[in-house]
Amino acid sequence: MAKAYLRPQRNNPNLHVMLNSTATRILFNKNKKAYAVEFVYNNQTFTVKAKKEIILAAGTMNSPKILLQSGVGPKDALDAVGIQQIHNLPGVGQNLSNHVAFSMNYWVNSTVDHRIITWQTLQDYLNRRTGPLASSGLAVTSRVPSKYTTADDPDIQMFFSLSQTTCSPDGQVDEAADPADPQKPQHVSISAVNLHTKSRGRITLMSNDPLAPPHMVGNYLTVKEDEDRLIDGIRLVQKLVNSATLRDTWQFVYDNVTQGSCADNNTWDSDDYWRCAIRYNTGGENHQASTLRMGSTDDEWSVVDEELRVIGVHNLRVADASAMPVVTSSNTNAPIVMIAERCADFINQRWGHYGKN
């Protein structure tokens, strides 16, 4: 994103990037007009004033935190940490939405050499920035429908990653990662990700210290439908690894690690077993969204309107994933760029092209 958006504008006199700085509060006048941003740099607090608007883009976790620190949010939450309320918006920090994933690990018993770190791959990367080491390891993904949706609205995403490379304990290329078991097979992880989660969490303040991190309550798997979709996602992964290609060529073998007491109390591979197992091995993705959700102005849980303006105050917009009504059925990076592009359009429409009119 920096290459696409910042680099072309790096000589623009209207652009000033402050490193190692933390925005802490938005300041409002008696008419609830946002007129300045307070930030901390080198342990000192500074204030920068805005001529037209302030754009809040601190992300799903920190955008609601900054609003709460500024006195915008539910009164009881603000009273609890000693912050004076400027404007009542019950939805600030609520409706936290995220994807959740259950990872299934497999040993690959094929005799094909799967080593990632060799002299050749090392030279490919160091000299040409090519080869497997130039990849993030998550180069392949798929989106498939569970039995709870339709083919045109897939709700399960699969991630495929090499969870164990051949790094050596002594840092020598081609040395076995585990000297005690030099022929140890390659380990591959396949994650089933629920893209249509119904459980909702929240972001709150731990204190009125503006530098303290926000408190997140994920509330993952609090809705049974989220469990059901994950279990069906597990079945889809099993169907894939039992396909002729993976079974005959790669010989995937499930790494049946102990999932708490699930195996003791449930029949292996039953739905009840997996319902228990997902409580031990399910994690949230980095796709948090919706903590300042967009909605109609007559909905008390809405925080921003259709033009990303914070409802009930003036000259303040939000341009990040927190404005999503619900997390998208995909990775969030591209949708966030779209939100920022639309925010730029709204600003141009309000103030004239580049603010000159």
Phi, psi of 98 (to 5 degrees): -160, 160
User: What is the spatial distance between Cα 314 and Cα 307, in angstroms, rounded to a whole number?
Assistant: 12
User: What is the spatial distance between Cα 162 and Cα 171, in angstroms, rounded to a whole number?
Assistant: 19
Nearby residues of 317 by Cβ (< 8 Å), 6 or more positions away: 53, 54, 55, 56, 304, 307, 308, 309, 310, 343, 346, 347
User: What is the spatial distance between Cα 197 and Cα 284, in angstroms, rounded to a whole number?
Assistant: 11
CA distances from 208 to 12, 22, 224 (A): 36, 15, 35
User: What is the spatial distance between Cα 97 and Cα 233, in angstroms, rounded to a whole number?
Assistant: 19
Annotated catalytic residue, options 16, 87, 187, 287: 287
Nearest to 135 by CA among 106, 165, 105, 157: 165
Q: Which residues pair with 221 in a beta bridge?
A: none
Q: What is the DSSP string of 77-93?
A: HHHHTT---SB--TTTT
* Residue whose entry in the numeric block shows the structure tokens 């459980």: 199
Is the Cα torsion angle 81, 86, 89, 93 positive or negative in sign?
negative
- Specify the length of the chain in residues: 357
Q: Is 114 a catalytic residue?
A: no
Q: Catalytic residue numbers? A: 287
